[in-house]
Structure 1
Amino acid sequence: MAGKRRQFGRVRKLPSGRYQARYVGPDGQLRPAPETFRTKKDADDWLADKQTEMRRGDWHDPDAGKVAFGPYAVAWIKERELTSTTRQLYGSLLKHHLEPVFGSVNVGEISAPLVRRWRADKLAAGTGPTTVAKAYALLRAILGTAVSDQLIRRNPCQVKGASTVHTPERPTATVQEVYALADAVQPRYRTLVLMAGFLGLRWGELIGLHQRDIDLDHAAVRVRRSVAELGNGQREIKAPKSAAGKRTVSIPGVIVQDIREHLKRYAEPGADGRVFIGAKGATPRRNHFNRLWHKACREAGIKGLHFHDLRHTGNTLAASTGASTRELMSRMGHSTARAALIYQHASADRERLIADALSGLVEKGRKGTAGPKGHARDTAG
């Protein structure tokens, strides 16, 4: 009596003694299993899984991932709405860190072990952890799209925390140090330092300010644009990095007069005049200003402080006033609460230190007035 005919797929025994499984996919193509099996049962089980996938509508074309990563990644970057600086960063990461290893590899052949080995080799070769984290994040994002495009089933980037950029804690200048630096830098940049330190504005936001953006009668600055410097030396005037970046920031009254004097003496005239310009009327470049900044730091006796660290001073001072998370987010120009919570945490830590110091004073006072059994002495006459 003939055996029962197979309803799905075919299994055949090879001369090697192993078994090959094949089936007809939803696309009408005959699809062999990517590997042979030791037993017929193993081959049957594999076919059963494929049949279940097809019934669920979860079938995946095993040839879909036969797309070289390099061209796919180039197209991925091209198709996205990115700022010029981000596009340039992604292009550099792809060229120098991803393409040499993954460029000619099919997307479907990029495995979790290959990704882990690539990352470990990069770190062992001395590539900076921040650069490796950014390259890994880009790789994960590209392959995440490959999952959405149904080129692969799962994203092989599975290294926990590998895309997190661990930046060392930066110093925070004191109020006295901000003024010392403002007095040491060239006079035309004195107010730039003060506004960075006490308003928490970014370099690009400060350089992008025009006279019409500053309302001294109401002590406010409207941030509407930012100047970005690209790697090729070109500059781009753009909106702030996020929608939250467009904001109005109140000016502390203590520096209103400094700003007023700066606008009269150094700013370009007229409502559209640039607030900060160089001695020859050009928009300041970061590399040129950095030379002046380092000189000012030496004169002020301050080491290891970057200009961007002044933003930390402004944000820390704002947090110490008891401002809410939402208020800090608005002032800092952040669309998420993460950064605001960091500054609030720092402020809370300082508050804890103050409370501990007060506790010590209270304990000291109690001991000074306690009797032999720990009770307060009767001071009544």
Structure 2
Amino acid sequence: MTKSERGAHVPKNVKNIRVRTRADGSIRGYEVRYRDPLKRDSRGYPAVRGKVLPTLAEAREWQLRNSVEILDGDYVDADRLKTKWREVADEWLDVRRVKLRARTISGYENVLKNWLSEWDDKTIGSITTRDVRAIIRKVRAAGRAVGTEHHVYDTLNGVLKFAVRDGYIKKNPAATVREDLRGTAEKDYVGQALTIEQAEAIVAALPEGRFRMYGLVGLWTGMRAGELAGLRVRNINFDKLTIQVDETVEDVKGHLRPGTTKTRKSKGRRIPVPSAIIVEIAEFIEGAGLAGDDYVFAVPGKLFSHANFYDRQWQPACAEAGLAGTRFHTLRHTFITLRAREGVPVHLLMAWAGHSNISTTMIYTHVFEDDPNDHGVAERIFSAERREVIKPELRLVEVQAG
């Protein structure tokens, strides 16, 4: 193409835009020429690349926008935009494996397989906010719970945030969808705590022995199910009346194995236990002949299966107590909520619960913010600050040696 041909279609004051023609001489488009900051030529300089647009106006607009992105550091390699979603998701999983438990990774893999497999062959740059909303609608149409909806969103959002951070895409198309999800963390927690009478009724309905003790310790420590299953005798300090959380038992695709705690804040935390409960634990351990590294609730040669306990012992006990459908995790909500109601400082609740974020702990403190007993809570805190010892009344479940 001669200079006269170029000048006939592109003003002289417009630089780095060329006319592209077909064999018959008709205009195919306008090519913007630019230096790619992410690629180098054979001499080590930013490589020259081109982008063809159908009209001169579109070419000039794209040229300006591209120049601003390069200057602001927001430029994305066009080739990376063509990377398949599944490739980016697998890379994200590989990075996450270093920090997360195998069970958590397994959960992400299930979401990618069961809910996001239709994206496997999509390019990462082609995924839009509309696509994200379509996935959320699919979860709702399947009648899944709010928790599943949030889990699916958190997974796809995690991959897309990683894609932005690693230079695959410019912005996260899922960023604005979070506000459209059903429910919030606070709404999910409110109403899930039991009264102490209800919790005791369920524990009392559990079979005597290790199953009832498992429920009793869960109620009075707020430990997660996996943490209870991973509790060893050496983790219990009978002199200082505390239990230390060091490990868990996790179920990964049907196989039980020792695992790490859910968060770094969870590991090594010490939970104070009422003396009467410590006595019952000691009697149980002595009666079972356990010591040292023995798991408190397991049987010899076999780790404690919370899934089996939940189906065979927990659900029947809830039904017998007139509270069918209650989750075991509700004991944890009950422990933290009642401690918050008693006026335990938030920083202590956070430490006992092993929360990594104080906003999670604050959810429980808001549940009873309009409670008529607030004045009584204030009086107890005031008395404690004056170093007056307040001994709380303990409502205990009678546990017979079994």
TM-score range, shorter chain: 0.7 to 0.9
Counterpart of 2:61, as a letter, is D
Partner SS state of residue 162, structure 2: helix
Q: 1:44 to 1:93 in 2, by over 3 A?
A: same
**Structure 1 residues 82-118: Cα deviation after superposition (integer angstroms, max 9, x where no partner):** 2101110111111111122x11011111122222233
| Residue 338 (str. 1) matches residue 348 (str. 2) | no
Flag structure 1 segments of 5+ consecutive residues without an equivalent: 356-381
Structure 1 window deviating more from structure 2 (88-97 vs 128-137): it is 128-137
- Counterpart-to-counterpart distance in 1, 2:104 and 2:177: 24
| Residue 257 (str. 1) matches residue 273 (str. 2) | no
User: Is contact 2:256-2:305 (8 Å) kept?
Assistant: no
Deviation, structure 1 residue 41:
3.7
**Structure 1 residues 285-314: Cα deviation after superposition (integer angstroms, max 9, x where no partner):** 123212111222233333332222111221
Equivalent of residue 25 in structure 1, options 26, 32, 35 = 35
Correspondence for 2:261? 240
- 1:213-292 aligned within 5 A: 213-230=235-252, 232-245=253-266, 246-266=268-288, 268-278=289-299, 282-290=302-310, 291-292=312-313
Partner SS state of residue 349, structure 1: coil
- Counterpart-to-counterpart distance in 2, 1:55 and 1:347: 52
Flag structure 2 segments of 5+ consecutive residues without an equivalent: 40-46, 377-402
Correspondence for 1:114? 131
User: Is contact 2:75-2:170 (8 Å) kept?
Assistant: no
Q: 1:49 to 1:346 in 2, by over 3 A?
A: closer
Deviation, structure 1 residue 173:
2.6
| Residue 92 (str. 1) matches residue 110 (str. 2) | yes
User: Is contact 2:19-2:27 (8 Å) kept?
Assistant: no
- Counterpart-to-counterpart distance in 2, 1:63 and 1:51: 18
Equivalent of residue 177 in structure 1, options 198, 202, 205 = 198
Partner SS state of residue 370, structure 2: helix
Q: 1:169 to 1:304 in 2, by over 3 A?
A: farther
Number of positions where the alignment pairs a residue of Structure 1 with one of Structure 2: 348
Correspondence for 1:45? 61
Q: 1:319 to 1:6 in 2, by over 3 A?
A: closer
Q: TM-score, normalised by structure 2?
A: 0.77
Correspondence for 1:363? none
Task: Answer 1 or 2: higher relative contact order, Cα 8 Å, separation at least 6.
Answer: 2
Larger Rg: 1
- Counterpart-to-counterpart distance in 2, 1:192 and 1:301: 20
Superposition RMSD on alpha carbons, in Å? 2.8
% identity of equivalent residues = 28
Structure 1 window deviating more from structure 2 (67-76 vs 48-57): it is 48-57
Correspondence for 1:9? 17
User: Is contact 2:125-2:168 (8 Å) kept?
Assistant: yes
Deviation, structure 1 residue 42:
4.0
Q: 1:164 to 1:334 in 2, by over 3 A?
A: farther
User: Is contact 2:136-2:153 (8 Å) kept?
Assistant: yes
Runs (4+) off by over 6 Å:
13-18, 352-355
User: Is contact 1:110-1:156 (8 Å) kept?
Assistant: yes
Q: 1:56 to 1:8 in 2, by over 3 A?
A: farther
